[in-house]
Chains A and B, each alone.
Chain A
Amino acid sequence: MTDNYMGNYVGQRVKRTEDPRLIRGLAHYVDDISLPGTLHVAFVRSYYAHAQINSIDTSAAESAPGVVAVYTGKDVAAKIGPVPCAGALPDLKVPDHRVLATNKVYFVGHPVAVVVASDRYAARDAADLIVVDYEELPVVTDVEQSAAGGPVIHDAFSNNIAYRLTSGEGDIDAAFAAADRTVKQRVLHKRLAPIAMEPRGVLARYFPGEEELTLWSSTQIPHLMRTQVALMIGIPENKLRVITPEVGGGFGSKLNVYAEEALLGWISMQLGKPVKWIETRRENIQATIHGRGQVGDIEVAFKNDGSLTGLRYSVFADLGAYHQLLTPAIPTLTGLMLSGAYKIPAIQMNITACFTNKMATDAYRGAGRPEATYIVERALDLVAAELGADPAEVRRKNFPAPSEFPFHTATGLDYDSGDYEAALNKAQEIAGYAKLREEQKKARDEGRLIGIGVSTYVEICALGPSQAMPAGGWESATVRIEPTGKVTILTGASPHGQGQETSFAQIAADELGVNINDVTVIHGDTGVVQYGIGTFGSRATAVGGTAVFVAIQKLKEKAHKIATHILQADASRVAFEGGKYSLQAAKAASAAGTSEPVVPVGEAPAGALPEPETEGKSSLTLQEIALEAHVAKNLPPDTEPGLSATYFFEPKNFTFPFGTHIAVVEVDRETGDIKFLRYVAVDDCGRVINPMLVDGQVHGGIVQSIGQAMYEEVVYDESGQLITGTLMDYAVPRASHIPNFELDRTETPSPVNPLGVKGVGEAGTIGSTPAIVGAIVDALAPFGVRHLDMPIKPENVWRIINGH
Chain B
Amino acid sequence: MKKAINLSVNGVSHTDEVEPRMLLVHYLRDVLGLTGTHVGCETSLCGACTVMLDGQAVKSCTVFAVQADGSQVTTIEGLAKNGELHPVQEGFWEKHGLQCGYCTPGMIVTAAQLLDRNAAPSREEICHGLEGNLCRCTGYQHIIEAIEYAAKKAGQS
Q: Which residues of A contact B (CB under 8 A)?
A: 15-16, 18-20, 22-29, 31-32, 34, 120-121, 195-199, 246-249, 251, 278, 280-282, 496-499, 692-693, 695-696, 698-704, 726-728, 732-736, 738, 740-741, 764
A-B pairs with beta carbons under 8 A, tally? 174
Q: Are B93 and A735 in contact (CB under 8 A)?
A: no
Q: Are B100 and A196 in contact (CB under 8 A)?
A: yes
Provide the bound-state CA to CA distance between A282 and B143, in Å: 27
The 9 closest A-B pairs by CB, nearest first: A25-B36, A248-B102, A497-B100, A699-B139, A25-B76, A22-B101, A703-B139, A497-B99, A32-B35
Within the complex, the shortest CB–CB distance from B86 to chain A, in Å, comes to 9
Known A735-B126, A738-B141: A31·B35 in contact at CB below 8 Å: yes
Q: Which residues of B contact A249 (CB under 8 A)?
A: 99-100, 102, 136-137
Per-residue A-contact encoding for B11-42, CB less than 8 Å = 1, 0 else: 00000000101100010011001111111111
Known A727-B41, A740-B123: A24·B77 in contact at CB below 8 Å: yes
Interface flag for B65 (CB, 8 Å): no
Q: Which residues of A contact B52 (CB under 8 A)?
A: none
Provide the bound-state CA to CA distance between A598 and B127, in Å: 66
Within the complex, the shortest CB–CB distance from B42 to chain A, in Å, comes to 6
Interface flag for B138 (CB, 8 Å): yes
Q: Are A23 and B89 in contact (CB under 8 A)?
A: yes
**Which of B40, B77, B96 is the one whose CB lies under 8 Å from A199?**
B40
Interface flag for B134 (CB, 8 Å): yes
Q: Which residues of A contact B133 (CB under 8 A)?
A: 734-735
Look across to chain B and name the residue whose beta carbon is closest to the beta carbon of A22. Answer: B101
Q: Which residues of A contact B34 (CB under 8 A)?
A: 25
Q: Are B43 and A728 in contact (CB under 8 A)?
A: yes
Provide the bound-state CA to CA distance between A195 and B100, in Å: 13
Look across to chain A and name the residue whose beta carbon is closest to the beta carbon of B92. Answer: A23
Q: Are B136 and A196 in contact (CB under 8 A)?
A: yes
Q: Which residues of A contact B60 (CB under 8 A)?
A: none
Known A700-B139, A738-B141: A726·B45 in contact at CB below 8 Å: yes
Provide the bound-state CA to CA distance between A640 and B85, in Å: 46
Interface flag for B131 (CB, 8 Å): yes
Known A26-B77, A281-B40, A281-B43: A735·B140 in contact at CB below 8 Å: yes
Q: Which residues of B contact A698 (CB under 8 A)?
A: 139
Q: Which residues of B contact A734 (CB under 8 A)?
A: 127, 130-131, 133-134, 140
Q: Are B35 and A732 in contact (CB under 8 A)?
A: no
- Report which residue of B29, B104, B127, B136 has the largest number of chain A beta carbons within 10 angstroms of its beta carbon: B136
Q: Which residues of A contact B104 (CB under 8 A)?
A: 22-23
Provide the bound-state CA to CA distance between A528 and B98, in Å: 27
Per-residue A-contact encoding for B116-148, CB less than 8 Å = 1, 0 else: 000000011011101101111111111110000
Interface flag for B48 (CB, 8 Å): yes
Provide the bound-state CA to CA distance between A251 and B26, in Å: 27
Q: Which residues of B contact A32 (CB under 8 A)?
A: 29, 35
5 residue pairs A–B, Cβ–Cβ below 8 Å: A23-B101, A24-B80, A121-B21, A198-B40, A695-B96
Interface flag for B57 (CB, 8 Å): no
Q: Are B102 and A197 in contact (CB under 8 A)?
A: yes
Q: Are B100 and A197 in contact (CB under 8 A)?
A: yes
